[in-house]
């Protein structure tokens, strides 16, 4: 009671001292506020800061008087120093050396306390110097504030902006915010544990919260997984739909907003691919896996903690049961001793009143009862010792249980904080990635909307009418050229080979020879339509039917039309590509004007015009579609290229006037393996594609971003492996060429910048 009175007196003294300081400060500030020189907002802010400092001092003293935990006292001291530093930085007139020294002294006194030796008896003596330092700090702060309010410090400094300045007394204090956790209503970690320790069911409550957290996380993960699966399936269907729609509208020309919808479909495909990558990342290490791992760890540790707590409780229960048994035994031994003692007392009385022979018998009984009394007394002492041991064991078990309880609460709190941190991180990842996805989609849609507003209705229809007019003019020019060429051919007699059909007589010989040597430089009128991928659908690029064809928007005009080939006799009857030097001379029937009448309606590409074809009778493999040639096959006399007759329209391999080498593995092969076959050490695919891109695609927007046609890209890759340098890529789309270049670089086993670098 005496100690409690002293404690109450000290608390009352501290509260009165601090309240006196605050009251004096407020009175001085009220008197200053009447002066128009001082800003009322500044005065109000200064009052709030002083009250905050006073509250921090009271909180520190309360922590010392009540809990006396080292961590709690250090936390409160750090909060006090943080508030004091904020006040000194904000109000430079209150920043003085005396106040810094007082704060340093308080910090040193608190750090010098040995908390392991503190108990209820010596608490006041141990913290006497700390209390004195707190009072000194409060007194110094009050004096400096009083001097400032009385005008001893220049008032003009109040109007200056506060200058942030580090002081030596706060070098090791981390400042995150001025407001303390106590003022916000939040508990520090140690305070959380102390609050739970006062509850008898604290462990059960904490374990129940951990179990609920696991169930909550399981539901969140289940929702995200199901949502991601649905979105993944939707993106796959979206890609299929966009690809099919893009193929269908690509064969139609002069349609309004065609390029805009093509870009929209490409954006859908690209956004679907990005969404698939996002989904894969969220399913892997961005959301699902980290959260599931943290949930499993929570469940594992929760079960271990529950089992440990159960074992400790069982031990405590055993100790309490042993104590109860020892107490009952002690009481029983005490009763037995009392009975033996009472019997001994009666025997002594009888012995004193008896004499003679009867006395001898009483002596024997007296000795026997005395011996029984001593044995009962000894049992009482043993029972008392056992009871004391049980009491000691119960106290030890109770202390161990409290320590275990504190450790378990700390472990559960740390575990919950870690789980919350993981949940926060993955949640940020989830919504951030979804935001980026939605933002990119919104930007692309806005761009398409702005482009659609710029379209002039009827523009494509006008282009269609112009193209139709130019087509009629081309037909008239084609008929005139056909008449002239047929008349020139009749002057020189019938042609002896397909080369005579391809070449123009006399003045046209030089032009056609240049066309054979460089198919990309053909300038004169041709009997046969120029080769292009745009003149047949994607399904026909692998050797299918050529009944329905479409025009490529980049390389063909509406004026192109079909022209017929003059009949040309064959110059050989090779049956395979291996016996070219052993062929028999042509028979008169094969060199006649009707020997190759089957080529009359065959359409040939520009690359096919460079070959000298003849009939093929032996089955072999087509170099264009890589199918087996059984019937309707042709073979070049010079390079021995073999292909279907229907593939002549799509052929892209130029004649090299020597035997065509076999197919090579280009994509996925080592860079050095392809480069060593070139004189300059550069793979031919890089030179061909780069040269074509530099010639006609440097100013094309999105050259590497926009994807080309998948079927055309695959055909060009196949042709490059079959024909190497002899492939004519001038008629391919720029995006197709870029796709092939990117595919080659992507499939290199080791990139240009080596892994070891």
**Bridge partners of residue 621, in order along the sequence:** 628
**Structure tokens of 695?**
């010639």
Q: What are phi and psi of 613, to 5 degrees?
A: -90, 155
**Bridge partners of residue 633, in order along the sequence:** 616, 644
What is the structure's pLDDT at 74? 82
- What is the average per-residue pLDDT within 256-267? 87
Domain ranges of the chain: 2-186, 461-531+544-643, 671-746
What is the structure's pLDDT at 65? 74
Mean of the per-residue pLDDT values of the chain:
72
Strand spans (E) along 557-696:
613-616, 620-621, 628-629, 633-636, 642-644
Q: Which residues contact 631 (CB under 8 A, 6 or more apart)?
A: none
- Residues 174-228 have pLDDT tens digits of 333 333 344 444 567 777 777 887 777 888 999 999 999 999 999 999 999 999 9
129, 61 contact by CB (below 8 A): no
- Residues 28-86 have pLDDT tens digits of 444 444 443 456 777 788 888 888 888 888 888 887 777 666 777 888 888 888 888 88
Q: Which residues contact 742 (CB under 8 A, 6 or more apart)?
A: 704
CA distance 20 to 206: 44
DSSP state of 727: B
- What is the average per-residue pLDDT within 556-565? 36
**Structure tokens of 723?**
């024909």
What is the structure's pLDDT at 549? 35
What is the structure's pLDDT at 522? 34
Round the CA-based radius of gyration of the chain to a whole number and report it: 51
- Fold assignment, 671-746: Phosphatidylinositol 3-kinase; Chain A (1.10.555)
495 C-beta neighbours (distance < 10 Å), count: 20
**Structure tokens of 754?**
């080596």
What is the structure's pLDDT at 219? 94
Decide: helix, strand or coil at residue 68: coil
| C-alpha dihedral sign at 39, 45, 46, 51 | positive
Given a cut of 80, whether residue 119 has pLDDT beyond it is no
Instruction: Report the 3 state secondary structure along 296-359.
Output: HHHHHHHHHHHHHHHHHHHHHHHHHHHHHHHHHHHHHHHHHHHHHHHHHHHHHHHHHHCCCHHH
CA distance 499 to 571: 10
């Amino acid at each position: 009671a005496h100690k409690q009175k002293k404690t109450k007196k000290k608390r009352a003294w501290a509260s009165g001292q601090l309240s006196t300081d605050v009251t004096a400060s407020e009175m001085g500030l009220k008197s200053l506020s009447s002066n128009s020189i001082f800003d009322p907002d500044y005065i109000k802010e200064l009052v709030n800061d002083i009250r905050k400092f006073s509250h921090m001092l009271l909180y520190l003293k309360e922590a010392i008087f009540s809990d006396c935990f080292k961590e709690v006292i250090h936390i409160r001291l750090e909060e006090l120093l943080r508030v004091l530093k904020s006040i000194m930085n904000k109000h430079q007139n209150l920043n003085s050396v005396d106040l810094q020294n007082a704060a340093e002294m308080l910090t040193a006194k608190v750090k010098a306390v040995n908390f392991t030796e503190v108990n209820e008896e010596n608490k006041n003596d141990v913290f006497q110097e700390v209390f004195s330092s707190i009072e000194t700090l409060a007194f110094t702060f009050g004096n400096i504030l009083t001097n400032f309010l009385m005008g001893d410090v220049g008032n003009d400094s109040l109007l200056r902006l506060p200058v942030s300045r580090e002081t030596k007394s706060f070098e090791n204090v981390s400042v995150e915010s001025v407001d303390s956790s106590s003022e916000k209503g939040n508990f520090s970690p140690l305070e959380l544990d102390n609050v739970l320790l006062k509850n008898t069911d604290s462990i059960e409550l904490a374990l129940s919260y951990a179990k609920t957290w696991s169930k909550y996380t399981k539901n969140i993960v289940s929702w995200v997984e199901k949502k991601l699966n649905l979105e993944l399936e939707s993106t796959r269907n979206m890609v299929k739909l966009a690809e099919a729609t893009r193929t269908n509208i690509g064969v139609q020309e002069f349609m309004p907003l065609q390029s805009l919808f093509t870009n929209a479909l490409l954006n859908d495909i690209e956004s679907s691919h990005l969404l698939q990558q996002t989904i894969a990342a969220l399913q892997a290490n961005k959301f699902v896996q980290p959260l599931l791992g943290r949930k499993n760890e929570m469940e594992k540790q929760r079960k271990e903690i529950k089992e440990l707590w159960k074992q400790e409780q069982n031990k405590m229960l055993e100790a309490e049961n042993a104590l109860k048994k020892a107490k009952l035994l002690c009481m029983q031994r005490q009763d037995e001793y009392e009975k033996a003692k009472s019997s001994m007392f009666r025997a002594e009385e009888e012995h004193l009143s008896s004499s003679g022979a009867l006395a001898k018998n009483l002596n024997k009984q007296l000795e026997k009862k005395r011996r029984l009394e001593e044995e009962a007394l000894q049992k009482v002492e043993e029972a008392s010792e056992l009871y004391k041991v049980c009491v000691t064991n119960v106290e030890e078990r109770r202390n161990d249980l409290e320590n275990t309880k504190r450790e378990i609460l700390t472990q559960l709190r740390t575990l919950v904080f870690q789980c919350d941190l993981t949940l926060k991180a993955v949640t940020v990842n989830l919504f951030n990635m979804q935001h980026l996805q939605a933002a990119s989609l919104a930007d692309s849609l806005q761009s398409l909307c702005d482009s659609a507003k710029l379209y002039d209705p009827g523009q494509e229809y006008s282009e269609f009418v112009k193209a139709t007019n130019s087509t009629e003019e081309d037909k008239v020019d084609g008929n005139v050229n056909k008449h002239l060429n047929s008349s020139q051919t009749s002057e020189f007699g019938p042609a002896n080979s397909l080369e005579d059909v391809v070449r123009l007589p006399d003045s046209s010989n030089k032009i056609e020879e240049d066309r054979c040597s460089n198919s990309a430089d053909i300038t004169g009128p041709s009997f046969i339509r120029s080769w292009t991928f745009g003149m047949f659908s994607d399904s026909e690029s692998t050797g299918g039917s050529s009944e329905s064809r479409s025009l490529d928007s980049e390389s063909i005009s509406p004026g192109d039309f079909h022209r017929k080939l003059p009949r040309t006799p064959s110059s050989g009857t090779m049956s395979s590509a291996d016996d070219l030097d052993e062929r028999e001379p042509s028979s008169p029937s094969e060199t006649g004007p009707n020997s190759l009448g089957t080529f009359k309606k065959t359409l040939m590409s520009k690359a096919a015009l460079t070959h000298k074809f003849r009939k093929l009778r032996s089955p072999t493999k087509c170099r264009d579609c890589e199918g087996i040639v059984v019937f309707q096959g042709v073979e070049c006399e010079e390079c021995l290229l073999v292909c279907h007759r229907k593939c002549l329209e799509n052929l892209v391999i130029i004649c090299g006037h020597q035997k065509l080498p076999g197919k090579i593995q280009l994509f996925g092969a080592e860079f050095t393996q392809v480069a060593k076959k070139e004189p300059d050490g550069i793979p031919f695919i890089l030179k061909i594609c780069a040269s074509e891109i530099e010639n006609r695609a440097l100013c094309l927007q999105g050259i590497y971003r926009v994807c080309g046609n998948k079927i055309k890209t695959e055909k060009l890759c196949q042709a490059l492996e079959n024909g190497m340098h002899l492939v004519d890529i001038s008629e391919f789309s720029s995006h197709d060429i870029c796709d092939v270049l990117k595919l080659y670089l992507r499939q290199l086993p080791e990139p240009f910048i080596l892994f070891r670098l």
